[in-house]
Amino acid sequence: MPKKYIIAIDQGTTSSRVVVVNKEGDVLYKEQMPVAINETRNGEILQDPQELIDSVLVLLDRTFKRHQIDPNEVCSIGITNQRETTIMWDKNTGKAFYNVISWQSKHTIDITNDWISRGYEEMVLRKTGLKINPYFSASKIKYILDVCKPNIDNVMFGTVDTYLLWHLTKRQVFKTDITNASRTLLYNIFEEKWDDEILEKFEIPKSILPEVVDTDDYFGDFEYNGVKIPINAMIGDQQSSLFGHQCFNEGDLKATYGTGCFILINTNSTPVISSSGLLTTPAWKIGGKTTYALEGSVFMAGAVVQWLRDDLKILRSANESEQMALKSNTNDIYVVPAFVGLGTPYWDSQVRASILGINRKTNQNDIIRAALNSIGYQIEDVLKILKHEMNREITSISSDGGASRNNYLLQFQADISNLRVIQTKEMEVTALGAAYIAGLKSGFWKNQQEIERNKKIKQLFYPRINENERNRLYSNWKRAVEATISFRPMK
């Protein structure tokens, strides 16, 4: 039977998805299911391990049945996943020792503060490209070991990719790929191995860690109705979206405008170590060659729109923000959305949000426009640092994520960053990346050029304002941020 499809699994923070991709790179079918995320009273952000695996199994089953896909028609499977999220389970019983600790959970900050106070920061950055932070897996692993005190001989640790793989292969394969390994804080991205010195300092035994392999590999088979389908790719979600956008060359950049915004730029074979808090990360290792990326993030992107809708209640839907922003005719109001502090390049966790420059005539459309502008300004802040650290110009942004459907926002981004913004036709760019890699490995697509022919663009946005106006707006944004940071209310 001819191989007509690649299946990609995208296990994300708030939902699991399974998509079916054809030779032309179209997502023909998509099955999706929300997954719960719970915050406990002491600030732990947790997920249910069984729910993660069940959701994926149910969606795979649904994909075959609802769309009448014969498993023999599926060439291979790619897996992409939320990164850093930590699961530890018993290798004999399969039972998790603790709930899944989400990447968002910061409750292990005492552990990371202890590591910082012991002076490990410089050494860890030099080896992993990352700052010591509870966001990454290492302190979550230590926490589970400390709390559960399991018999180490029986422990398996995995990020979500590893955990899914172990289940999908009927407990046969215990592996991760380099992009996921590199987000644990335990992986030396220069020597490409688990780092013995870090493991010793963090008191984490190597025996619990999966084997690290290339992003394209034969990861084992998923069996459906007696048919074995090879799993040929595993990759962290942001890196997958970089691949899905076909950012194959040095300097190619993508921004995913979701709840927050993740900006990754391809730095080719050079791991650029940042002096301003950007993260250095392998983008993928394909055909034995490692490609690196530099990553910056903005905490509040689409979340600002959620706030306008759910808390300020001046929007009925996120979609409506585009039309309402276009009704406003001012850019002289500034929202600084520091709801949880500010990230790159300010790194201030104390500062809180502000709205500046309002007058007697200001209305809700003006506030909505200023809020959308704030997403554009924050991304421009990151782009400026990226350009500086890479010492090169950036020519375009490939965009995806919920808020990238907002044409007003993308036009503003093109204006303020003075570059071309690409809106892709395909929404599931993250899943597409894993599908492309699996398909290349399994010969579904012969080479990258064949994939490049599949690129479909919905719309392009070009800068429309002049340099004086751009400089005026951006300087005022900087002033607004400064004023906001300097406001330190008494407790």
Q: Please give the residue ranges that form the binding site for ligand ADP (CB under 6 A).
A: 14, 258-259, 302-303, 305-306, 318-319, 321-322, 401-403, 405-406
| Min separation Cβ 6 and ligand ADP, Å | 22
Strand partners, 372: none
| Min separation Cβ 321 and ligand ADP, Å | 5
| Min separation Cβ 305 and ligand ADP, Å | 4
Which residue number places its CB atom closest to ligand ADP? 402
Asked if residues 252 and 265 have their Cβ atoms less than 8 Å apart, the reply is yes
Three-state DSSP class for 415? helix
| Min separation Cβ 18 and ligand ADP, Å | 16
- Rg for the chain (alpha carbons), in Å? 22
| Min separation Cβ 373 and ligand ADP, Å | 12
* DSSP character string of 90-157: ETTT--BSSPEEPTT--TTHHHHHHHHHTT-HHHHHHHHS----TTSHHHHHHHHHHHH---GGGEEE
Pairing of strands 187-188, 193-194: antiparallel
Closer residue to ligand ADP in complex, CB, 371/481: 371
Residue 375 parent element (H or E)? helix 364-390
* DSSP character string of 248-291: -STT-EEEEESSSEEEEEEEET--PPPSSSPEEEEEEEETTEEE
Cβ count within 10 A of residue 3: 16
Closer residue to ligand ADP in complex, CB, 170/313: 313
Residue 421 has φ and ψ, to the nearest 5°, of -115, 130
Closer residue to ligand ADP in complex, CB, 195/237: 237
* CB contact set of 106 (below 8 Å; sequence gap of 6+): 43, 134, 135
Strand partners, 193: 188
Residue 324 burial by Cβ neighbours in a 10 Å radius (0-12, 13-18, 19+):
buried
DSSP 39: E
What is the torsional sign of CA 349, 352, 353, 358? negative
Residue length of the chain: 491
Give the span between the Cα atoms of 371 and 327, in whole angstroms. Answer: 14
Closer residue to ligand ADP in complex, CB, 322/415: 322
DSSP 364: H
* CB contact set of 412 (below 8 Å; sequence gap of 6+): 372, 373, 376
Residue 428 CA, chain-centre distance (Å), reads 13
Structure tokens that stand for 436 in this block = 């492309």
| Min separation Cβ 256 and ligand ADP, Å | 7
| Min separation Cβ 414 and ligand ADP, Å | 16
Closer residue to ligand ADP in complex, CB, 155/242: 242
Closer residue to ligand ADP in complex, CB, 55/259: 259
Closer residue to ligand ADP in complex, CB, 319/349: 319
Closer residue to ligand ADP in complex, CB, 104/268: 104
Closer residue to ligand ADP in complex, CB, 76/328: 328
| Min separation Cβ 423 and ligand ADP, Å | 12
| Min separation Cβ 348 and ligand ADP, Å | 22
Closer residue to ligand ADP in complex, CB, 69/261: 261
| Min separation Cβ 424 and ligand ADP, Å | 13
Give the span between the Cα atoms of 199 and 180, in whole angstroms. Answer: 17
